[in-house]
A and B are shown apart, each in its own frame.
Chain A
Amino acid sequence: MKLEEKLGLIRYNLDKEPHIIVNTEKCEKCRTKPCIVGCPAGCFKIEENKFLFQYEDCIECGTCKIICPKRVIEWSYPRGTFGMAFRYG
């Protein structure tokens, strides 16, 4: 099963205010970009040589903030009641 389909099983209550802010200009210069492989929801990627980030699929683990070598990820949990919800956990 593809990652998108797996994420499709999770309920989201999307906050229009992003809870993660990434300075993608600085990321472009990052040599290793461990966020791309480390994020379990595939929120970071490179497309046509551009570094892209979206917070909408985030499953709120916090990995990106910790592995960012440049420490340029502004991270918090979504505001109360917002974000994703598991049914099994």
Chain B
Amino acid sequence: MENLDAIVVGAGPAGSAAAYSLAKNGLEVMLVERAKTPGEKNVSGGVLYGQVLHNLIPNYWEKAPLERRITTHRLSLLSNESAFTLDFSSGKRSPVPNDGYSINRYKFDQWFAEQAENAGALLAPGIRVDDLLWKKNRIIGVKAGTDEVQANVVIAADGVNSQLAAKAHMRKEHTSEQMGLGIKEVYKLPRKIIEERFNLIGNEGAAYHFIGCTKGHPGGGFLYTNQDTLSLGLVIFLPAFEVTKDTAPDLMEHYKSHAFIQRLIRDGELKEYSAHLVPEGGYSKITKLYTNGFLVTGDAAGLAFNIGYALEGMNFAIASGIAAAETVIAATKTGDFSKRSLKRYEQVLRDSFVLKDMKTFKRAHNLFNNPRLHSTYPKLVNTFAHDLFTSKAVPRQKLVQLLIRHVLGNVTIPSLIRDGLQVVRGL
């Protein structure tokens, strides 16, 4: 086979976005995916914030397989028996839906890879790329079993465990501190029941997030409505497993046993249990992004954004896939695929929300790793709310006094100052 313009490894959102853009611009690109069907290895919550996808495929929402448009967002702090909730619902519908859509990755990834194929990319599913081909210090292709394919550039879009980024010396070995384990269960329920239970009309959807559901370990929970299923998930930062006796499946069961969660999923039929890692290292754990003949995108590069109540990775993956493609298109014009030329990729990301957001929130990581956020504070808020909303027929304290009493009864002043600073610095 002649030399291709590009090989993209991994048909997740990053890879399909890159392959689509390259093919649209007339480049010869191969999109390699280890799964028989793109999507069947992948897991998201998943709410897709589709602004960048709209830039790539205008009005994607008219074509892509989406579940529900998210119109209600909730954040709940859970204690053992209660839940304190912030609820935001908006009737405002901007023409470009930037409030997010819930999706099913199996369907969505298939669709996206198909778009790349229709644009002219050569989709090669069922192939695991095992290694990179080198010529001196330049990457010139990939190896899969005994097959070798060459290209001007290889784009790694092989996800959170990226072996290619490691083989190209873009990153060190992963450590537990930079990863979260996401566990997810999908429950089937009739549409009508979902709409009634979550107060939705037609295709509206709800995204609920939970803090205080992890037995005190850093992490959090989510529940998203799909058309006729619910996605219930839990993310636990890996260092928890160095100290806890609870297994990951036990922590999921514990979360699910909360009365508040039970009500939301009651009578649902479990259709799937899945798990996947989430990059949680933030700005400081982003890999090197390029070298001679090579670019790293999406989760493979650690480009995912966690701000506690929400996880955004798919839009970051798509944006980085597009940026990588733009860089390769420019490099093809000059014929220069050295790192000097591919450096442009990093600049494009620096100028966009991808690296800007990750930098702005680079200290948020410390805050979400603070165990008090996951036990003391949710409990405190719930006991305060309990006093606030019940009447015990005994003389009451002023609310501010009550709040101060609850806070000081549970957190020492130095901790409080430290945590306050973390909030100010992180958010």
Interface residues in chain A, defined as those with a beta carbon under 8 Å from any beta carbon in chain B: 1, 3, 6-7, 9-10, 13, 32, 34, 36-42, 59-63, 65-67, 69, 71, 76-81, 83-89
A16 to chain B, nearest CB (A): 16
A60 in contact with B242 given A9-B273, A87-B272 (CB within 8 Å): no
- A66 in contact with B247 given A10-B274, A61-B277, A85-B40 (CB within 8 Å): no
Residues of A within 8 A of B41 (CB): 60, 77, 83-86
- B-side contacts of A10, CB under 8 Å: 272-274
Quote the shortest CB–CB distance from B304 to chain A (angstroms): 15
Partner of B109, one of A1, A40, A89: A89
Q: Do B181 and A38 touch across chains, with their CB atoms under 8 A apart?
A: yes
Name the residue on A nearest B127 (C-beta): A80
Given contacts A37-B247, A38-B248, 8 further A-B contacts (CB under 8 A): A32-B242, A36-B247, A40-B181, A40-B249, A61-B275, A66-B238, A76-B163, A80-B34
Q: How large is the interface on B (under 10, 10 to 19, 20 to 34, 35 or more residues)?
A: 35 or more
Query: Contacting B43 at CB < 8 Å: which of A1, A78, A89?
Result: A89
By the criterion CB–CB under 8 Å, are B241 and A67 in contact? yes
Contact B241 A37 (CB under 8 A): yes
B40 pairs with A89, CB closer than 8 A: yes
Q: When the two chains form the complex, which single residue of A1, A42, A61, A89 contacts B44, counting CB atoms closer than 8 Å?
A: A89
Contact of B273 among A6, A65, A66, A79 (CB under 8 A): A6
Specify the main secondary structure of chain A where it touches its partner. loop
Cα–Cα, bound, A9→B274 (Å): 10
Q: Which residues of chain B are near A80, meaning CB under 8 Å?
A: 34, 36, 125-128, 144
Between A and B, 21 residue pairs with Cβ closer than 8 Å are: A6-B249, A6-B273, A10-B274, A34-B241, A37-B241, A38-B247, A38-B248, A42-B249, A59-B275, A61-B276, A61-B277, A67-B242, A81-B34, A81-B126, A86-B39, A86-B40, A86-B43, A87-B40, A88-B272, A89-B104, A89-B105
